[in-house]
Structure 1
Amino acid sequence: MLILSASMGTGHDGVAAELAARLAAENADSEIIDVLRLFPLRLGSALRRGYRGMILRAPWLYEVIYQVFFVGKRAPGTSPLTVLAASRLRRLVDARRPDEVVSTFHLAAQITGRLRERGELPCPSTVLVTDFAVHRLWLHRGNDRYLCPNPDIVGQIAAQARRPVLRCAPVVRPEFARAVADPGRVAGSVGVDPGDRLVLVSGGSWGVGEIIATARTLARSGRYTPLVLCGDNAGLRRRLREAGLGPALGWRDDVPELMAAAYALVDNGSGLTCEEAFAAGLPVIIHRPIPGHGRDGARSMARAGVSMHTGSASALLKALDHLEDARARKRLADRAGALFYSMPVQAGLISAPRWASSGSG
């Protein structure tokens, strides 16, 4: 199988890597391709830099683009960018001859849908929706079928794409469900008091959003200690340390243990980190989400009852205080954990019938 991802942060790549590992365990060969590398003249790198720059420095601009091109009523059904990468993907498929192509990023789904619709992609094309809320650029009718972890949008996908849709569990590394940690030991390892109530704060691999304000809200409460995951944003780490706002961590390979020891996760997206927390049984609060798909995903998760969504400092602290109730914590964890009762994604790819009716799951 040829897995198409995109290095827009690490969420899509993380899903692609775990999918490849699961396929390997089933004796299925796979190869991961960064779809951004299919664009000529380094345009893919420019798209990544432009998106990152907007999210970090001008989120309002990304919101405008999202409203016009992703969800607007007059938005084009197919991204014009697909033409630029379609020929390279076609040549790649001709050389590799995969049994199936799987897209984990909406732009990849646009490219495969275009090729499949025009009869230029000889193998089936499956789209694995990695966002909790779906926009129209995920939904090209040329693709053969869709896999989706959010049961609440299965019907929407089936109605708009007019293709079979199968529910699947979120694609998360198994370490998150298995991790066990001593909160006191973890607190000591990051330099805080063992009795502190640790709250993980994440802004994704790029450290985007109002992270400093969130950390300050937690620290000033006197009840919670922020433990900030800054990803590769060295500037954010420096500013947090200068402000004395709790441990500011870069890349870590012990995030499953951190989640096992934490009181809650406060995120500003709705992607893979939230799903990892769901697997770990860690309550999730999405606070002041990034615009566009981040905001829509936060609302979708809140409607599904798998996380909470807050927009002010007082609401964030109120939500965290609410989690002191063991029944409230269990209710949230149970709803999030139920997502993993669905079919594993590898089963959907290897054994599920391609003639399944739309909306089945």
Structure 2
Amino acid sequence: MPHSDSPTRITVISASMGAGHDGAATELTRHLTAAGFLVDRHDFLDLLPARIGKLLSGAYLRLLTWAPGGYQRIYAATEHERRPNPAVRALLRGAERRTLATVTPDTRAVVSTYPGASQVLGALRLRGRLAIPALTYLTDFSVHSLWVASGIDAHLAAHAIPAAQAHEQGAAGVTVTGPMTDPRFTPADEDERRSARTRFGLPQDASLALLVAGSWGVGPVREAAAEILDTGVALPVVVCGRNHALAERLRADGIAHVHGWVDDMPGLMHACDVLVQNAGGLTSLEALAGGLPVVSYRCIPGHGQTNAAALDEAGLAPWIREPDQLAPTLTELLHGPRGRAQREAGLALFTAAPGPVPAVTAMARGPLSAVRPGRQGSSTAVPAGTPDLSAAPILSRRRPADAQTGATVDALTAVTADALRLPVAARFAARSRQARRRTVLMVAAVAATLSLGIGAPLAYAYGESPGHHFGALTHYLEDDDR
């Protein structure tokens, strides 16, 4: 256990799938650091086997862009599953060894802002390989089943709506903590508004609707921009993120105010009067913190639509499902009592609860071995006589002793150690076997990525589960990282 006067260390694991998960992790890291913790930050995509994290991210982006209907099918088919399918479990199992390696012996808690990382941490907790608390900070306003992992000690939600959804799916330790955003997102006075409009080259006297589509600029953004312009209620100010092609198309369409990646989003929000969004992620919370009314329109499939429904249910952002409702809704938000009510509700969201840091602090500074996580929605008390694990937060990462040989070392470590004692020919053979194993692992992992990113929606669409294609993948991924 760390010395009582030394700072407590916490690990935060996010994923660079867009910017929302990373944005939440950045704010969590900043708040925890300000509270006196040492924080280690990791990208879950870097922890996946065979370096396929970026490939998985790219496949997901292409799926949203090229086959949104397929993504909607797989999302709907898996939204309430109690357990990930075999292909997903196999892929995640391959990240366990690297995930454990991110947690140093003096770490006292791990927080995930990405569902895949939560599934890995929960599995490690259940099997006793991770003996410190593991928490999930739910970054979405709706909760897909992947967010809820057996073995996770606490699921932290920004609002009662996602908290209730998590609880219904069997999540343990569900707590409404409130959201977190960059402190620069605050309501602007009239001077700040005019100054921001001058900086961004925006007209001073027009109503401005800030249209966002995430860091990837996905969804029917061109249609939304044209329809906002046609209402005559507000001028669209479009942020395309890193989608440079979209920005060029919008300019060719005659949209006057188009931006790529914007470093000063607080300033741009100060310049605008309403936010129009299609995914319901971090940007929506930032707008609410800045006193902007928010509306969901032309939402992307899957989480975009479920987040829109949850925000609507919470009274924080109406979801416009039909184009003919766009003009009257914008008018109400810009000039009517509905807009004032939503501004008040958005600001109240940030004062009703203290944020996730107190919950993380309680877990990190509590006794390590008071409770062992059970299955979803339960916990199991440690039986009498169980050894005190507080001095060793991470349990043995080695494989259990073999019943016949008594070997306790990891399989790959054993191959390497034995090779040092073998003749040259035997060492060459051992290295060849290891190289073949790594090649098969890489090929299998790439196949899983492609199937999860492209094939799985098609398989679900035609009623065929992709899981039965992954027997070999499961064998190689699971056996490699025990």
TM-score interval, normalised by the smaller of the two chains: over 0.9
Alpha-carbon shift at residue 90 of structure 1 (Å): 1.7
Counterpart check, 1:129 vs 2:138: yes
Q: 1:80 to 1:295 in 2, by over 3 A?
A: farther
Give the corresponding residue for 2:18: 9
CA contact (8 A) 1:179 1:256 kept: no
Q: Partners in 2 of 1:233 and 1:191 — Cα distance? A: 21
Q: Partners in 1 of 2:220 and 2:202 — Cα distance? A: 23
Counterpart check, 1:349 vs 2:371: no
Counterpart of 2:178, as a letter, is: A
Q: SS state of the match for residue 149, structure 2?
A: coil
Alpha-carbon shift at residue 64 of structure 1 (Å): 1.9
Q: Partners in 1 of 2:186 and 2:200 — Cα distance? A: 22
Mean Cα deviation higher: 246-255 or 6-15: 246-255
Counterpart check, 1:89 vs 2:88: no
Give the corresponding residue for 1:144: 153
Alpha-carbon shift at residue 351 of structure 1 (Å): 3.4
Q: SS state of the match for residue 116, structure 2?
A: helix
Q: 1:79 to 1:44 in 2, by over 3 A?
A: same
CA contact (8 A) 1:109 1:140 kept: yes
Counterpart check, 1:29 vs 2:57: no
Alpha-carbon shift at residue 193 of structure 1 (Å): 2.7
Q: Name the larger-Rg structure.
A: 2
Per-residue CA deviations over 1:238-257 (Å, capped at 9, x if unaligned) read 01111111211112222112
Q: SS state of the match for residue 99, structure 1?
A: strand
Alpha-carbon shift at residue 329 of structure 1 (Å): 1.3
1:1-361 paired onto structure 2 within 5 Å: 1-71=10-80, 76=85, 79-93=89-103, 95=104, 97-177=106-186, 179-180=188-189, 182-340=192-350, 341-351=352-362
Counterpart of 2:333, as a letter, is: L
CA contact (8 A) 2:119 2:150 kept: no
Per-residue CA deviations over 1:235-280 (Å, capped at 9, x if unaligned) read 0110111111121111222211221221100000111000001101
Mean Cα deviation higher: 294-303 or 320-329: 320-329
CA contact (8 A) 2:81 2:145 kept: no
Counterpart of 2:362, as a letter, is: S
Mean Cα deviation higher: 8-17 or 172-181: 172-181
Q: 1:174 to 1:74 in 2, by over 3 A?
A: closer
CA contact (8 A) 1:190 1:247 kept: no
Counterpart of 2:360, as a letter, is: L
Q: Partners in 1 of 2:274 and 2:111 — Cα distance? A: 33
Q: SS state of the match for residue 3, structure 1?
A: strand
Per-residue CA deviations over 1:59-95 (Å, capped at 9, x if unaligned) read 11211221233335886497432211012112332x4
Q: SS state of the match for residue 90, structure 2?
A: coil
Q: SS state of the match for residue 237, structure 2?
A: strand
Cα-Cα RMSD: 2.3
Q: 1:137 to 1:271 in 2, by over 3 A?
A: same
Counterpart of 2:76, as a letter, is: Q
Q: Partners in 1 of 2:21 and 2:205 — Cα distance? A: 36
TM, length-normalised to structure 1: 0.92
Q: 1:96 to 1:18 in 2, by over 3 A?
A: farther
Counterpart of 1:169, as a letter, is: G
Counterpart of 1:271, as a letter, is: G
Q: SS state of the match for residue 175, structure 1?
A: coil
Q: 1:35 to 1:273 in 2, by over 3 A?
A: same
Alpha-carbon shift at residue 349 of structure 1 (Å): 1.1
Q: SS state of the match for residue 158, structure 1?
A: helix
Q: Partners in 1 of 2:165 and 2:279 — Cα distance? A: 21
TM, length-normalised to structure 2: 0.70
Per-residue CA deviations over 1:277-334 (Å, capped at 9, x if unaligned) read 1101100001011111111010011011000101232212121011244421121122
Structure with the larger RCO, 1 or 2 (CA within 8 Å, 6+ apart): 2
Q: SS state of the match for residue 289, structure 1?
A: coil
Per-residue CA deviations over 1:161-187 (Å, capped at 9, x if unaligned) read 352111112111111026555444433
Per-residue CA deviations over 1:84-110 (Å, capped at 9, x if unaligned) read 1012112332x4541100000111110
Q: Partners in 2 of 1:221 and 1:157 — Cα distance? A: 38
Q: SS state of the match for residue 242, structure 2?
A: coil
CA contact (8 A) 2:84 2:146 kept: no
CA contact (8 A) 2:316 2:346 kept: yes
Q: Partners in 1 of 2:168 and 2:239 — Cα distance? A: 38
Q: Partners in 2 of 1:159 and 1:227 — Cα distance? A: 39
Counterpart of 2:245, as a letter, is: G
Q: 1:75 to 1:21 in 2, by over 3 A?
A: closer
Counterpart of 1:348, as a letter, is: A
Q: Partners in 2 of 1:71 and 1:64 — Cα distance? A: 13
Identity of aligned residues (%): 33
Counterpart of 1:102, as a letter, is: V
CA contact (8 A) 2:82 2:145 kept: no
Q: Partners in 2 of 1:26 and 1:115 — Cα distance? A: 27
Unpaired stretches in structure 1, ≥5 consecutive residues: none
Counterpart of 1:288, as a letter, is: R
Counterpart of 1:280, as a letter, is: G
Q: Partners in 1 of 2:120 and 2:170 — Cα distance? A: 15
